[in-house]
Structure 1
Amino acid sequence: MDAAQEFETHRPRLFSLAYRMLGSAAEAEDAVQDAYLRWHGALPGQVAAPGPWLNKVLTNLCLNRLTSARARREEYPGSWLPEPVATGGGALGPMEHAEQREAVSFAVLTLMERLTPPERAAVVLRDAFAYSHREIAGVLDCSEAAARQLYHRGHRHLSDDAPHPAPDPAQNAALLQRFLSAAADGALDRLEELLAEQVVVWADGGGKVRSAMRPVTGRNNAARFLAGLFARFTGGVRLEFAEANGLPAVLGWEGDRLTSVGSLDLGPGGVTAVRILRNPDKLAHFAAHHRPLSQNA
């Protein structure tokens, strides 16, 4: 097996690592490509164990990218949401258990933005890739005690607003069907029945398409906003179900162009969060890789 072929055997794992680190599929692919260039340029005999070597190179590439990404996201117009990834084909690994789905959920990836880049690396490497604290220390070039502290501090920041466990996909899909039906009918009473009292709606247009610039909070406000949004944007839009970040999502297509990806979080009292991705730059990767769960919604 030549060097290029061997790298391809590691590519799925590397993408999964980079996406968890960056929250962006496009940036993750770029980081993986940069790792390939490092791999291709390595001197003979420099790489004794390809897997760990590539993980360390990629993690450090992601750490560099996170530093600049944090500055860009502070100036991002409106709400920033992670890019959706089509996970039905195993792009981010197995999605058989609630913990696996929750780890790549929009809720958790959004919370990860609170962490420093080293904290995020420690959490991802330990929770998603079962690295020991000693192995994390080797990747981050710090002491084992420092790696342990980074991990525990990162988890403490995440636990402050930890999301509720991801529901069963079938339960989520059924809820999504009821939600869409109520929104399509403009039935505010039915919509409100599905929403938790303190529900929050985030819409990410990136300043490139029409979208709410601030989160919409509260059951009544959210129901009115969603019914109005549905009425404005679904004329001529084909809806389809797919799996995004481990859970069912609804896609909006205008012709052959993907224009939105929407998902729901479920908690006590009903739907606790609605996330709507409309920034076209964040939809290209999903459009190229998604696998529908069913035909038209």
Structure 2
Amino acid sequence: MGIAEGRVVVVTGAGRGLGRAHALAFAAEGAKVVVNDLGVGADGAGASQSPAEEVVAEIRAAGGEAVAHGGDIATTEGAASLVATAVDVFGGLDTLVNNAGFLRDRMLVNLDEDDWDAVLRVHLKGHFLVLKHAAQWWRAEAKAGRRRAARVVNTSSGAGLLGSVGQGNYSAAKAGIVGLTLVASAEMGRYGVQVNALAPAARTRMTEQTFAETMAAPEAGAFDAMAPENVSPLVVWLGSDASAGVTGRVFEAEAGRITVMEGWRPGPTADKGARWTPAEAGEAASKLLARAEAPMPVYGAR
């Protein structure tokens, strides 16, 4: 039996890239998978059912169970229908993998409001709405005495943890996903729901152009460090019963490396016990900065 045997798993943005790899990996471990994908382009334009349907066909051809969902998860209707599809077709929901997204990269001075809104909408709002509707279902099940070992894996990014030049909208959305993850973990634990976040690095439509040299495929026979399939094993484990007790955490996954990220926590502190003057505050801050660890550089910074 696979590590996800019998679990019902929803993966958003599962028609290509990381989402596709996650869906196939869950199916290979015995899960029943709802493959969500709106079928849009790399910039969010257009729509097509074919990517989701192709992944479903691939899972079924390998002997697994899957169903396609083509709704827009950044709408209440789309998010609600996605959860309802899992419940109606497979009888419940055990794991949600929030992965859908696209890029509209611009330097801040050239970033249009529409491009800001579109990226925040699909990444941050899309995570929130599906998580909300899944959480409502899990809460109702728990109150009815049918508590499930529910799991949520949200998709952040190194851009959300460190920032990325030319990706102000994307970085802000991915940082927001970390905050959402921490809150959801704290709120939903009482209902048996574990919520974690992942910051993956892999070759996808979003990274192939932005980081073309880093994401290039290796020579034949060499380990493909940037293959999205390298990230999926951790996602499957986090989405399974085996990860019991792990919640409110952020991981990085790249190639053969897994890292537990340690976020904001108090560093050097000074307390006068009274109000500072601006000059005193500046002097104190300068001394504290001299003792503090230097921040890691923003991606793309020179």
Q: Normalised by the size of structure 2, how large is the TM-score? A: 0.29
Q: Normalised by the size of structure 1, how large is the TM-score? A: 0.29
User: If each structure's helix is expressed as a fraction of its own residues, which one has the higher value?
Assistant: 1
User: Which structure is richer in relative contact order (CA contacts within 8 A, separation 6 or more)?
Assistant: 1
